[in-house]
Structure 1
Amino acid sequence: MPSRDQDRSDAGAALTELILDLFRLSNRMLASGDRLVAGLGLTSARWQVLGSIVATERPQPVAWIARDMGANRQNVQRIVNDLESEGLVEFQANPHHRRAHLVVLTARGRDIFEAAMRLQAPWINRLSEGLSVEEIQTTHGVVAALERKLGLDAKD
């Protein structure tokens, strides 16, 4: 019986191993993030959505937030609804679309997000120990290239 790797190029086999490592890393990153912000009443998913809202230049509807995150709109909608029920975000009328309300961070939401980021700084500094900026930038470049390629594949 032929090996599963038989049809893969050397780069394809190496990328397969990297992707498997990224899956494991993602799971560990989410679990670690959950532990880091649990005391603030957040999860990694809620923190990520808050961060996406903070990163925008102006309020956006859920569909745009989900697109920017590369996430499923329904999942982001559920999280935004939870954040809204806890007073961390609010919905505002969208002058360009009656039904797609804009998501806006509340003062409480901003305070919680900033508290999470204060916890994140020492955590990320510990995590980055022993890694060079060049190694991190190279890895970032590979991940960004894969994101671009996957984005192009999704449009086909």
Structure 2
Amino acid sequence: MAEELTSALRHAVTETPHALLVVHTRATIEHIPSGEKPRRLGEGEMPVMTEERHIYEAQVLETLRGPAMQRVRYEVVVDRGDSISLSSGPQIVMLCRGPKGYYGAGVGSAFAATRELLALARASAQAAGPKSGKFAYCD
């Protein structure tokens, strides 16, 4: 296993309040209007969209860190046109929680659930223990 990958996983688990082993069941895309001052649109014109929200739903196979749950719904805001990924295999995802619910912790917060990475994620979550306050990956 590459040292960069194991280091990234360890850091993501310890710097997020929620780490889950999931299987994604659904993904949808919502376009987000740009923050530009609205102008009167001409006939047939659409508002400018520069970002989109990828909304994922998943069955939780195991809660590694945070409150136990059976299902989770979370979102990730990306640049418009970024591809949405919906793997059929188990993934380890790290999440934050905001006023609107769970959201992806950003780049480097989702990993394919190999045996080695899952064992490392479990050990990292146990070593981190409960933490409150600020998490580096969360706003």
Larger RCO, structures 1/2 (Cα 8 Å, 6+ apart): 2
Instruction: Calculate the TM-score normalised by the size of structure 1.
Output: 0.23
Higher alpha-carbon Rg? 1
Instruction: Calculate the TM-score normalised by the size of structure 2.
Output: 0.26
**Which of the pair is proportionally richer in strand?**
2
**Which of the pair is proportionally richer in helix?**
1
